[in-house]
Amino acid sequence: DQQVKQNSPSLSVQEGRISILNCDYTNSMFDYFLWYKKYPAEGPTFLISISSIKDKNEDGRFTVFLNKSAKHLSLHIVPSQPGDSAVYFCAASDGQNFVFGPGTRLSVLP
């Protein structure tokens, strides 16, 4: 029973365009959501987060949107750059533990 789902295993985007990565969750006890980026042979790196009291959080080229009623969040990257090519994990927390999705591999094509 996957509590956090990322239904797109991979995504390809042209450099300069927008990348949209999606995540769905099932547990209504989750109140904090994060995105991590992972390069090969490295640990996940924290990218951006959002609390359940907000519906949007922005940090430079990265914006996370949260739709609590739909139990859905998305990560927007604008403009996408080749260095953004990595695996992106969505994570949800109930304040104690973190549950991760299976990841989406983003490829930004020059």
Q: How far is the CB of 103 from other proteins (least distance, A)?
A: 6
Q: Does residue number 100 form part of the binding site for other proteins (CB under 8 A)?
A: yes
Q: Does residue number 96 form part of the binding site for other proteins (CB under 8 A)?
A: yes
Q: How far is the CB of 84 from other proteins (least distance, A)?
A: 19
Q: How far is the CB of 102 from other proteins (least distance, A)?
A: 5
φ, ψ of residue 68 in degrees (nearest 5)? -65, -40
Q: Which residues from 16-45 bind other proteins, rule CB under 8 A?
A: 31-32, 34, 36, 41-45
DSSP 78: S
Which is it for the CA torsion 71, 33, 38, 60, positive or negative? positive
Q: How far is the C-alpha of 110 from the C-alpha of 105, rounded, in Å?
A: 16
Closest CA relative to residue 28, chosen from 80, 86, 70, 63: 70
Where on the chain is the footprint of other proteins (CB under 8 A)?
A: 4, 9, 31-32, 34, 36, 41-46, 49, 51, 89, 91, 93, 95-103
